[in-house]
Each structure stands twice: as structure tokens, then as C-alpha cells.
Amino acid sequence: NLLGDLLLTPESDYISREKFRNTISNQLKQIDQYGGHILVYGMPGSGKTVAVCQTVRQLIVEENYFQPYGCYWKKIGDISEEKLLQILKGLATEIGIDDTKSIASLNEINSSIKKFFHDNTEKSNLLFVFDDIWNQDYFQYLTFAKKLIVTSRINSIKNKNTYYCIPTTENFAFDEAIQVLQKRQSNDNDYVLTNNSLVKDVIDRCKGLPLAISVIGGLNLRSDEGWQDLVKKITKKELDTEGLLKDYDFNLYATFQLSIDQLNEYDQKLFRSLAVFKAVQIPLQSITSLWAIHGVEKFMVQPKLEKLNQRSLLKFVDSYSPSCLLHDLIIEYLQQSIDSEQSIIKLHINLINGYRKQCNGRWSSYPRENYYYQYLIDHTIRAKDRQTMQEIMRDFKWMNVKLQSDKTIYNLRIDLERAIDDLRENEIESWQQYKQLLQLLQIYESGLLIKSMDLVQVLLTLAYDIDWIRERSLELAKENKNHNEYWKIAILYQDKIEGKIKPSKSKRVGKISKDYRIAVSNPHHGDLRIIGIENNERESCQIVIIDYEKSETVYQIKKPKQEIEAVAISSDGRIVAFQIDESESSESYESNGSNESNEFYGSNESNEFYGSNESNESNGSNEYDESNKSSKSNQFKVLKKWHIQNIDNKEELYFLESNLQKLQDQDFSQLKFCPTINNNDIFLMTLSRNRKQVKVWKIDGNKIEYINKQVSIEYDIESIEWINNGSTIYLWWRKHDYNYYGECKPVDSNNWINECQIQIWDLQSWQHPKSFLVPAYIVPGEKKYSPTINVDDGLRLRVVNYTNSHVEYLALSFDVKKGGLLMLENYDLRFWYDENMLENNFYPFPSFIDNVQDINISSDRQLVSIRAEIIYVFKAANGRLQSYIKLKLSHLLYDTMFIPGSNRLLVFDWTNSLYEYAMQGNNLKWNVLKDDGKDNDHQRKNPLDEEHVLDSCYAYISNNPVLDFCQQKLCPSRFHHTLHQQYDNCYVFDDLHSAIVIGASCSKIVITQLINFLSQNDDLQRHKALWQYNPSSNIINISVTELRHRKTDDTLIATIKEEFETFRHQLTVATINLCNGKSTIYTDNFERDWNCIYMDEYNLIVCNGAYSSQLLVK
């Protein structure tokens, strides 16, 4: 079908505007030969669509242009990004792109189609016709088309560089208008139109607007009186016609009303009922369902639509899939004519009842029609028919058909979220059930095969512990009439692990097993982004940058057949880096470095900055890079080059040495971005290929400038890491040469030093105030761990992770067998080799942990993640492991990392699935760490294990680090307090010598000051009640979200979040002066939950998603 779905424009209904069409035709002939983009623009109703469709049809059918593929036509209109994505994914499937399942953004679909046409050049000759684009931003997502013509009511200066712009001749000439009127005039109407002053007056007053002339022609006026009445009505412009009519000097709506008035009362009612539909193509089946409620027999629907088509009130397309299309102006008129909200609700109720009647209440049996599955939930919400909405939400077979129709889970997720919000706002408790369903789909999203799956079977398998989903799935399975076999889990054997948790989300990053490198940005500096690889080493190899929350690919960089060794991303997600192995193909790479291989796809999206907080710590994995094997070989030159690119302006960045010379060899062993941005400066550090030199660089525009900060070491440096929000770095190395093959044993086993050195460097002063020595090899004995020079029996140090928050310690792993925390407070470097020194300060991991691969520490240092055969997440306090949760996955793990500034753990496995685990919340059940009997003398009993730690807070007071625990029982910690009542949080501040504790419940909030809390003398300690807040009685939840101390006037500032039974949310800001005790309160109300964007001593910025499409910022 060379014409695709090109809109029919029969000569019986339309005229040909030859001059206008010739202009379009000449340009279309040019782009058929050379390619290009055309924009036809003009005001609504000016005939753009008709002229383009007539011209394209003539060129393809009569003149054999755009052969052999013809054209693809699609109405766009005023649609959301999600709907445009669905349209383009449907297009991708039609042209032959098989897998669009993982495509979740407009940038990505644009890139995918562009790549398809690059690989299938002959198919790129297809002409794309996109009709009536309302949104200027959508033009950027159509660049995949080699040959394109677009109609739009807008013409921005942005389009002039990429489109040949043709303005619409917005008015019919008099002769053209007469032709239209004559086509609409019935055979029995002998009224003379030519040389008629009344007719000319009407045409002049309408400015020859094609839509108006066409509707007037449908009036079939037969007398001077009729034309005189028309003149009067179109002369009076409605006072309230703003919107789409603001550019018209006459009353266009009057022409619509006159045409409708000529219908009988019954047909008027039918036509006006079409206002219930969206301004998109409406299938005949949906109109039949609606009109059936009004008693219209199925065989009468099409004749009535053809009658309305004759009046130009709509366009009826009689094709293999009949449908009709109402002009945007007519849709707006019908909707404005509805007299009350109840009438609108009634329209939606009628449509829902019509659909129900058509499918006998079996929602999944309705004919496969995109409109029905796309908008059914929306119509139930607008009808306020929550019973029907819940019926549909429990019909998993309907959901299955919808998923296969949409080819994505995104639209179903939006439907579920809107339905949940509607039920929750109306206090219908079942919203919690549908929230469970939504969470289940989100958890397993990465593994859903939408094209081929049966959702009922999927839920039978996955929802084994959610009673209502399992029972409903069983009901639907028993109703099975397709004779499919369904399976359910009768008995599920689970590990009896208290506190075992499920992931909160799952994503897909990469395509094959070699795509095992990822890195994440810092969400405190903008959207959380992930950089990953797809199809590493293959023809379709590319680097992808993904918006984590939206699952959208925001950028792609093609690297055909390249081996990507490593990836990195800046804290704001705008600068990306990737390392390519060019060792054996460096010459061919330079000679074949075409634009194609470095082609960029993606948008120039700007990033919003929300301020930084915690560091983007790396995972602390220090296993030696395998490339060093080759680096010791003289067979060929090792070249593993780093490429750094700005995804906003699509520029590649280059390194400048101190002499301002461009660095030719960007072959680094490691490259690490600073985890935070200070004063808009982005820093990175590199480790040289020979692993003996560390350099720090600063990004300035498209240059990466060396800032005269480097460290040179005699031995090979194992690893470099940023810590303390990027203010310091640490590096470590072995103080001996060793063999890079096998077990990395010392080169000279009889003459070597059993030492590893860790240095901490301050970025500002570029001094290393701290340095530590630890053994390179240890041997575990029955009761102690000792340094050893016996490398055959000893365990080699593999992983080092350093922290100085709260308590200073090193997290160490020796080979894959043993690891632990080395406390540095009493660790004397002068006697580090003394086995008692190691014994007294090294706290091994629990004996049930074996095969340690990696150690991660969260940004706030409260959690330690240990990747072994399974993942253990420990709570840490005072440098000790307190309690733990096991995360047992069924697949081999590639990587684990905490999202910077949070306690959200990401786990990446070999199936390219990325799981997120929320390690905070009251629903988590932590296992208390107890002595398992195997390492009695080495597993230290922490006195805090038996105490209830309410909270901990860390600050520097008088330049001394202070960690304060608020507890209800007395314990021998450094500072302790016996509190008089239950408290939830404590705060200590750098500039305040008191601690502040807060107790919150639905009945009150109490803030207390602990004076002289640093004193060891109980008599000097004093508790002072500062402030008490008593909320309203109908509150269901209350919490203090932020507490600040303003030094200038010694005032505490607290922000309080309150949620009421009506689901209203309140923000309360309280100030308490510590000198005079005076307090003030400010309150503000929000329709939904609010979140703090930014807060300092004088300013507070919060945001509230008041509506699904709006964000309210105060």
C-alpha cells in the first residue's frame, strides 16, 4: 500500500488549489531526489492537510515518485510525549524494527529508526507525512526521516535551518470558494452562487477560510434570506472566544451552529455526543458503541457519519479500518457547548456503558482497537465510575491485550497511577491493592516479554505472596476458553531469612553479557542518570545514557565493533567518559574514524541543579586491571583510550597539559569523576597507564585542564577514590613488585616487604595529612590474624575502602575468604607489624560471609554492603557492624553500588537487570548480628548491640568530631544520656554545643535541648524543653523533615510535614530562639505530598505535584 493511511480527499468533497499545490509539489520532487524536510504552516482551517494529501497522492499514484515505498501518514495533533512515543514505536514496528520493548523515550526511538535507515538505506526513501504538529519540541524527534513533510499551525525560527517552509495561502480566492460551495450544493438546489453579492459578502467576511467555506457549503442555502441571515450571524463575534479563535475576525462558531441546527433533534444529540472523544482519529467501532446507547442500530452508524461528512462537520474515512476525524475547532466548539459538569460526566458514562454493552462486560473481548485500550481508564475516571474502573483494573486479560497493543508497559503504568490517585483522593481503600499490582509490575519490568507473554500466567507465578492478585489470576485462568495451559506455584520453598526483601524497582541496562559496565550520576545535581553499554564489541555497539526514574534513554553514542572497557559519568550527568580498547586496532581506528562512528544521538536537554549533598563514592573494588598483563608484554603497544564527551552540546573534550599542549595519549588505567560539584567546577582524576602517577584535572568548556596536582609513586598504585564529598582522595599500593599473572605473588618471594600503604590527600592544600600501613598478606589462625611473608599460605589484600565519618576505619578484604573493619583510632603505625596491634584493632566480618568480591559504603556511612556469593547489607555504627539483611539473587552479580546521597542500593546482574533495594523503612526486618560460634575470639561483642539506638548525628564541634547517640538505656558510649521519654531523632551542629532531640507522634511534637551533652559529668548535663507542638485531631501522620541552626541569631528552624485523613498535606515551619525561647509558626496547605528542594538558614523551596501534568514550586 504505497499511500499508507494517507487521508482521503475525494474530488467530490474538495477542490484543488493548483498554485499552492504546485509549490508543495516542486519541493516534494526535490526531496524525492536529494532528501530533505518540508514544513507547510498556517492557521487552523486553512487547508494545509488537504493540499498536502492531494499533492502526495498525485505524485505517488500518477507520477510515480517515492517508489517503491510510497508514504507513511499520521495525524499528530495536540498529544502528549507518551502518545507521540507510542506512534513512533508503531511506525518502527511497521518498517521492520523487531524489538521496541526496551525503547522508553522519544530520543531513543528517533535514534533507533535513524540507525535502522542507516543500515537499510533503500527503506530510507519512504516519505513521511506528519499532520498538524502543535508542539515545537516534537520536530527534533523526527530527524530520523530522510524525506519528510510536516503540517503545523506554528513556524518557529528554529525550523528555518532544517525545513523548507511553505506558508499556506490561508484564504480561498473567490473562484476557489465558489467551487467548494458548488461541490456541497445538492442537485435540487438551483440557487445561483456566481456573481451574487450576498455570497461574495459572506466569502469576504470569512476571509475565504477553507474550513468556514466548506461548512457553509454544507448548509446548502437556497435563498437570499438564508444568506442574509448567515451574514448577520457570522458578523457578530463571540466575546468569549479566545483560545483557537483569537486570530479570526468573524464568528466561525456560528457556521458550525447553523449546520448543526439544520439536523433533526435526534441527529443533533448524536453529533454533540462526539464531544466525549479525544481530538484524535475515532474508530467507527467506538462511535457505534456510543450511539448504541441512544438506540442507533449498527447498520445506521456509517450513513449518519457520511451525512455529517457531507456537511463538513467531520471527515469520514471509509477504509479497511473506518474512522472519522473532527477538526480541532469543531471539537472545541462541541465541548464548550456542554452546559454543566454533570452533562460531561453523563457523556463519559454513556461511552463506558456502550463499551460494556458491546463486550458484555468482558473488557478483554472488545475488538482490538487502539482508542479503546488507550483511553478506557481515562474515560472511567472522567465518568467518576470507580466501580467500573476497578473491574477493569482487576481484568488482567484486558491488561494483557493493552500491553500487546501498546507494545510498552509505560501506558499501563500511567493508567494504574492515575486510577490509584483517583481512588486514594476519594478515600476508597482498594487503592492500596492496585498499588501492590503497580509495584509488582515495576519490580519485574526488566523481565517482561510484552509481545509474547500472558499476563495471567505471569501474575500466577510472581504474585505468590499477594493474595488478591493470586486469587484473581486463578479465577481468570479457570475461565480460560483458549485452552491454554496455566500453571501456578503450589509450594514455594524459601530461605527462612528474616528480613529478606524484594527490590523496589528493576530496569534493563544493556543487551548482552558483555555489557557489564555501568556508572551513576549524583541525583543531588540533577536527574539520576546511568551510563551503560549495549552490544559491546558488536556492529551495533553503543554507549547509552538513561534517565533512571523515567527509564528513558536520553543519549546514545554509536561505537560499532568497539570493545568498551569502562564507563564513567559526572555527578550532574552531563559529561560522560568511556574507555575503548584500541591496542590492536589503533591505526585502523584513526584512519577509519568517520563521522559515522562518532555520531551522536540524543537531545540537548538541560539539567536542573538542586544542590549537592553527599558524595558519589565508587564501589571500592581494587582488583588489578587485566590490561596490566599486556602492559608488561613487548608484543604490541597497549592503548586503552578514554573519550570524554559533553552530551549537551555534543562536543568531545580534550586534555590540556600544564604547558597548554594537547594531550595526545588519553590512555589512563583509571578515570574517576569528582562526586560533587563545587562552584560549578567539575573535577576528575586519572591514574596513568603504568599506574605510578595520579593527576587531578578541571573541566573548562571543552577543555580538561591539568591543575598542577599530582602524586607519583615508585610502586604500582592499585586504586584511587574520591571521598568526603570530593574534598579528599585516597590511594593505595603494595610496597613491592609483583607478578601480574596468576595470584599476583611478589616477584622475589625471598626479598620483599609485606606492606601496603594508604594515603589520604586533601584536594585544597594538596597535602597528605594521613597515611596508613597494613599487611599485604595475612594468615588466619585459630584465634588471631597475623601478618605473614609466606605467600603460599597467606591471604592477599584485594579490596580497600576508607571512611572517616563518625569513626575512622578501613574496610579490607583479603583474597576472597576473609575481610573486616580495621579501626584506626588506636592503630599505631609504629607497631603495625605487631600481631597484637592487628588483633586488637581488626574486627573480621561474620564467619558466615565467604568469597568477598566487593565492599560498598553508603554516602552517610550508615550502611555497608558486602558482595559475596550473596549480598549482605549491614547497619554500621561506631565502626561496628550491627545488624544485617541478606539479598539473595538467582543470577551472577556484576556490580553493586549505593545511589549517591541515599541508602538505595543498586544491584546489577549478568542478565542486564538492574535492581534497586530501598534499605530504609519500617517494613525492613534486620537480623541482629550474633556470635555464630566459629570466630568467638575475633567477632567483637559491641556494647551497643543490646541497646536501642534511636538515632545518630555527626558534627565537628570545636574542630573535634562528635558522634552522639540518643538512647533510652544507659550504655558506656563516649557520650550517653538517659532520656525521660521516647525520642526519634537527634541533631548536633558544628556551631552549637548542645544536642537537640525530637520526639514526634500524632498527638504532639516535642523538641528538647541537651545542654553540656559533651560533659562526662552527669551533674552538669541538663535537659531543657524548648518547644511543643500539638497538631489537629484528624491528623494521620506527622514528622520533622529538616532542622537547622542559624548561628546569627541562635535560632532553630524546623520543617514539619503533616498528613490529614482527607489526604491534605500541610507544611509547618517553626522557629525557636534558643536565647529567649520565643517561637513563630508558619503553615501552608498542599493538595498532595510536598518535598523539600532546598533549605538554608533563610530560604526554603518546596515542590508539590498538585496535578499529574503540573508541578507547583513555592
Residue 149 CA: distances (Å) to CA of 46, 168, 498, 756: 17, 14, 62, 67
For the residues 375-390, what does the mean pLDDT come to?
93
**pLDDT tens figures, 446-483:** 677 777 788 888 888 888 778 898 888 888 888 876 65
Closest residue by Cα to residue 15 from 50, 62, 63: 50
For residue 971, the cross-strand partners are none
Mean pLDDT over 685-707 rounds to 93
Q: Residue 960 above 60 pLDDT?
A: no
Q: 38-47, 414-423, 737-746 — which one is most confidently predicted on average?
A: 414-423
Which is it for strands 1110-1113 and 1100-1107: parallel, antiparallel or unpaired?
antiparallel
Question: How far, in Å, are 675, 907, 932, 1004, 1059 from residue 1036 at the CA level?
Answer: 38, 35, 42, 12, 6
Question: What is the full DSSP assignment across 162-225?
Answer: TSEEEE---S--HHHHHHHHHHHS-TT-----TT-HHHHHHHHHTTT-HHHHHHHHHH---SHH
Output the CA–CA distances (angstroms, integers) from residue 138 to 152, 622, 795, in the order listed.
Answer: 11, 45, 59
Q: Distance between terminal CA atoms of the chain?
A: 54
149 confidence band (pLDDT: 50, 70, 90): very high
Distance of alpha carbon 619 from alpha carbon 616, whole angstroms: 10
pLDDT at 809: 79
Q: For residues 133 and 380, give the distance between their C-alpha atoms in angstroms, rounded to a whole number.
A: 28
Is residue 407 within 8 Å of residue 101, measured between CB atoms? yes
pLDDT at residue 618 greater than cutoff 70? no
Per-residue pLDDT averaged across 68-74, rounded? 84
- Tell me the pairing of strands 777-780 and 854-857: unpaired
DSSP track, 142-176: GTT-SEEEEEES---GGGGGTSEEEE---S--HHH
In this predicted structure, the answer to whether residue 308 has a pLDDT above a threshold of 50 is yes
User: With 60 as the cut, is the pLDDT of residue 397 above it?
Assistant: yes
Question: Do the bridges between strand 1100-1107 and strand 777-780 make them parallel or antiparallel, or are there none, so unpaired?
Answer: unpaired
Sheet harboring 913-918: ordered strands across? 505-508, 913-918, 904-909, 893-898
Cell readout for 611 is: 544542590
Residue 487: pLDDT above 80? no
Closest CA to 897 of 421, 334, 520: 520
What global pTM score does this model have? 0.52
CA distance 845 to 400: 47
Q: Give the separation between CA 984 and CA 949, rounded to whole angstroms.
A: 10
Mean pLDDT of 519-524: 91
**Cβ-defined contacts of 114-117 (< 8 Å, 24+):** 114/143, 114/144, 114/601, 115/540, 115/558, 115/601, 116/92, 117/144, 117/146
Q: Is pLDDT at 629 greater than 70 in this prediction?
A: no
**pLDDT surpassing 60 at residue 599:** no
pLDDT score for 732: 92
Integer Cα distance of 574 and 608 in angstroms: 11
Q: What is the pLDDT of residue 372?
A: 92
pLDDT at 933: 32
pLDDT score, position 624: 39
User: Any idea how long the chain is?
Assistant: 1114
For the chain, the farthest-separated pair of C-alpha atoms sits apart, in whole angstroms, at 117
Does the pLDDT value for residue 400 go beyond 60? yes
Nearest to 452 by CA among 403, 525, 524: 403
Question: Is the model more confident about 394 or about 937?
Answer: 394
- Our CA angle for 28, 32, 35, nearest 5°, is 100
513 band by pLDDT with thresholds 50, 70 and 90: confident
pLDDT in tens, 781-832: 766 778 888 888 888 888 888 877 656 778 888 876 678 888 877 776 666 6
Q: What are phi and psi of 242, to 5 degrees?
A: -100, -120
The least confident of 298-307, 542-551, 876-885 is 876-885
Angle at 292 between CA 288 and CA 294, to 5 degrees: 125
CA of residue 676 relative to chain centroid, distance: 21
**Nine-digit cell at 536?**
559491546
The confidence score (pLDDT) of residue 645 equals: 93
Long-range contact set of residues 92-100: C-beta below 8 Å, sequence gap at least 24: 92/116, 93/407, 95/123, 95/126, 96/120, 96/123, 100/407, 100/408
Residue type (1 letter), 495:
D
Of the candidate ranges 313-317, 492-496, 539-543, 1089-1093, the one whose mean pLDDT is the lowest = 492-496
* 602 or 1010: which leads in pLDDT: 1010
What digits encode the pLDDT tens for the residues 962-984?
555 544 433 334 455 556 566 76
Using alpha carbons, select from 3, 42, 1113 the residue that is nearest to residue 610.
1113
Mean pLDDT for all residues in the chain: 79
**How far apart are alpha carbons 289 and 412 in whole angstroms?**
23
Residue 707: per-residue pLDDT: 92
What own/partner pairs with CB < 8 Å and gap ≥ 24 does 654-660 have?
A: 654/702, 654/703, 654/704, 655/697, 655/703, 655/704, 655/706, 656/703, 656/704, 656/705, 656/706, 657/706, 658/706, 658/708
